[in-house]
Chains A and B, each alone.
Chain A
């Protein structure tokens, strides 16, 4: 096991697992308790439009994905709060619209898109150092934002109407929360790809919430679960020569089943 650490790509992969675990533990907690899983799925798929635009413009796709997914997060958030269009309709349109844009952009760009597959399904073993740096910066932004607005995010997740009454600027903070989802999507793209991102945003927190009823503890627990399961998935995919993103997601799913089962036999505190 230890000898694989001598390879740089392995060290990068482990680093990526840690950075991914932090983003999905913190933001995933809100995704699960505020029940914005479907919105987050929409944001992550729409981010593919940004990847495609990056190919077309010849800029690092991850860099273009950041403004693109933030823009789609804001549009979903604003449209879904207007009564004329129902929320799931708005999500569905942006979900497929973003992907369609990505496909058109890639079709228009000259030549062949070599690592397109890694953006769709992830490839933790080929995360470049530049992207690792970017993931680190995004993680820092996420942590600082949540530290600053922890009370507000918790309040609007629990009861939006009452939060408004006591003076929480609910609309702005809801949009800010969606922007954090967009940033964590970008952090996760390299590892599991736009299609599988939603698994990492939901499953660690979904497992964690069976064992605690404190938001702070849930975040820490989800980070720990996210890192551990990603590393296990990485190791299994290396051992069995399977696609890393998909293996990680299947490990997460299996862990969720096992934890629900364990919870049923022995009620935990």
Chain B
């Protein structure tokens, strides 16, 4: 139950000689919804890419399910912050989700893969669009398809980079409820700006601005936020069940 599935030790990443991540130590445990917050350019996306093995850290050690990220990432479902593709690309919604089931060269998609893709589309409530060309969806629908693509893998770890960015406010609540449901089966890392929402649904929180300022219970994390953003902040829990924090004084 308390199994550690990702461990980062003393990670440092440089981009053109300037540090993007410094001295990162992080451990992610099974069945936990971890929220990572921090300002733009704070290295949140870079951190996810280090876990995925897309970016090699200049220093430090990454283990994913006890393996190297390249091996371990086959158990990861990933929702990128941006997916760049040609809106006229000749592919259907279903075939995009099926790509999440890719298992290797010469391994055809099986009936089981198709079932998993169908279930994933059902989960995000997009099954009726399965034959639609991918470019003929709204931004929010597209985001749900990409979430389905990540879920189709039936991952043990789900990495979500700004998942609610283009989802309508009404959908957001059900989306977070979906995450609470999913974390019974997997660990989830949620990178977001939306501090208010995160503070309601996450179990643990990490504050990232080049360094990891805090990692642990969300209550303490919220108090530490000013250090991360380096200015006084006010948390407003818009649309979510309740206001989370008192107003910070200067």
Q: How far is the CA of A215 from the CA of B89 in the complex (A)?
A: 9
Within the complex, what minimum Cβ distance (angstroms) separates B146 from chain A?
A: 9
In angstroms, Cα B83 to Cα A213, docked, is 19
Q: How far is A149 from B106 in the complex, measured between Cα atoms in Å? A: 7
Whether A163 sits at the interface, judged by CB under 8 Å, is yes
Which one of B19-27, B36-44, B90-98, B207-215 contacts A?
B90-98
Q: Which residue of A lies closest to B69 (CB)?
A: A165
Residues of B within 8 A of A89 (CB): none
Is B230 positioned at the interface, with any CB of A under 8 Å from its CB? no
Is there a chain A Cβ closer than 8 Å to B14's Cβ? Answer: no
A213 x B133 contact (CB < 8 A): yes
Q: For A169, give the chain B residue with the smallest CB separation.
A: B105
Chain A residue numbers with a CB within 8 Å of B80 are 161-162
**Chain A interface residue count, Cβ-Cβ cutoff 8 angstroms:** 26
Interface size on B, residues (CB 8 A): 30
Judge whether B54 and A166 touch: CB under 8 Å: no
- By a CB distance below 8 angstroms, the chain A residues around B103 are 167
Residues facing B in A201-234 (CB within 8 A) are 209, 212-215, 218
CB of A267 to closest CB in B, whole Å: 12
Q: Evaluate contact between B105 and A149: CB separation under 8 angstroms.
A: yes
Contact B54 A164 (CB under 8 A): yes
Known contacts A155-B102, A162-B99, A167 near B88 by CB under 8 Å: no
With an 8 A cutoff between CB atoms, is B153 at the interface?
A: yes
**Which residues of A lie under 8 Å from residue B89 when comparing CB positions?**
33, 157-158, 213
- Using Cβ atoms and an 8 Å threshold, which residues of chain B touch A149? 105
CA distance A35 to B86 in the complex (A): 9
Neighbouring B residues of A164 by C-beta, 8 Å: 54
Knowing A167-B74, A209-B88, say if A152 contacts B99 (CB, 8 Å): no
**Residues of B participating in the A interface, judged by any CB pair closer than 8 Å:** 52, 54, 73-74, 76, 78, 80, 83-86, 88-92, 95-96, 99-100, 102-106, 108-109, 133, 149, 153
Closest 3 CB pairs of A and B: A213-B133, A166-B102, A213-B90
Given contact pairs A163-B99, A165-B52, A167-B74, a sample of 16 additional A-B residue pairs in the complex whose CB atoms are under 8 Å apart: A148-B106, A151-B108, A151-B109, A158-B89, A159-B83, A164-B54, A165-B76, A166-B74, A166-B99, A167-B73, A167-B102, A209-B90, A213-B133, A214-B90, A214-B91, A218-B90
Listed in ascending order, the chain A residues whose CB lies under 8 Å from chain B are: 33, 35, 148-149, 151-152, 154-155, 157-159, 161-169, 209, 212-215, 218
Would you list 14 pairs from A and B whose C-beta atoms are within 8 A, ordered by A residue? A152-B105, A154-B91, A158-B85, A158-B96, A162-B99, A164-B54, A165-B73, A165-B78, A166-B74, A166-B153, A209-B90, A212-B90, A214-B90, A214-B92
